[in-house]
A and B are shown apart, each in its own frame.
Chain A
């Protein structure tokens, strides 16, 4: 099974900041990495798929990078709506696994 190590587990930032969240896979997996945003009491929302492709409707301040085992999600010019929890997810092989999440707080 591919294990996903996501860091940091929490992050404090301010409106206008630029933040980066990292996900490391326990084995190489090409570009099969997705990122989701989740707000309290809501379902996750797909932000980025295939490591770097922005899902339709997602603001361009979100960007993804990486391949193989190391991936990043960067949010530039943080907006109030961006304070949420973010999860990475590998779809290379079953069992599909998620990172433990990064809670982005003010």
Chain B
């Protein structure tokens, strides 16, 4: 089955760190760009970062650049998001998503179920 499964979310104190993982299965993981997108409770979607299939090209949202680090291990079919210096406003459901090039456009065509990160003391 083609799927993405996130893990690693939880409760963390402000200023703390957390590492999210995303396990991919059912497709050739190392052929795709991958991304992280988050959604604060009751709010809209916010793109965080993209990473190319070979890890040689990466893009970040300005507000997380320097605090969040996206990486991947193609041998393990896994995507990661290392988050540090967490703030209350980072509280959200975090999704990993596949980002293929479809008819001359990138689009998120496969999403995980999401993992909840709560930043609170």
Evaluate contact between B47 and A96: CB separation under 8 angstroms. yes
Q: A94-B50, A95-B59 are in contact. Are A53 and B44 (CB under 8 A)?
A: no
Evaluate contact between A46 and B109: CB separation under 8 angstroms. yes
Q: Which of B46, B102, B112 contacts A50 (CB 8 A)?
A: B102
Evaluate contact between A95 and B105: CB separation under 8 angstroms. no
Q: Which of B102, B104, B112 contacts A43 (CB 8 A)?
A: B112
Residue of A nearest to B100 (CB): A49
Evaluate contact between B45 and A34: CB separation under 8 angstroms. no
Contact residues of B between 59 and 74, Cβ < 8 Å to A: 59-62
Evaluate contact between A31 and B47: CB separation under 8 angstroms. no
Evaluate contact between B44 and A87: CB separation under 8 angstroms. yes
- Number of residues of chain B lying within 8 A (CB) of chain A: 23
Q: Which of B45, B46, B103 contacts A53 (CB 8 A)?
A: B103
Residue of A nearest to B109 (CB): A46
Evaluate contact between A43 and B113: CB separation under 8 angstroms. yes
Residue of B nearest to A97 (CB): B47
B59 to chain A, nearest CB (A): 4
B71 to chain A, nearest CB (A): 17
The answer to whether the Cβ of A62 comes within 8 Å of any Cβ in the partner chain is no
Evaluate contact between B50 and A96: CB separation under 8 angstroms. yes
Could you give, for residues 93-104 of chain A, a 1 whenever the CB lies within 8 Å of some chain B CB and a 0 otherwise?
Answer: 011111111000
The answer to whether the Cβ of B95 comes within 8 Å of any Cβ in the partner chain is yes
Residue of B nearest to A95 (CB): B61
Evaluate contact between A100 and B105: CB separation under 8 angstroms. no
Contact residues of B between 82 and 113, Cβ < 8 Å to A: 95, 102-109, 111-113
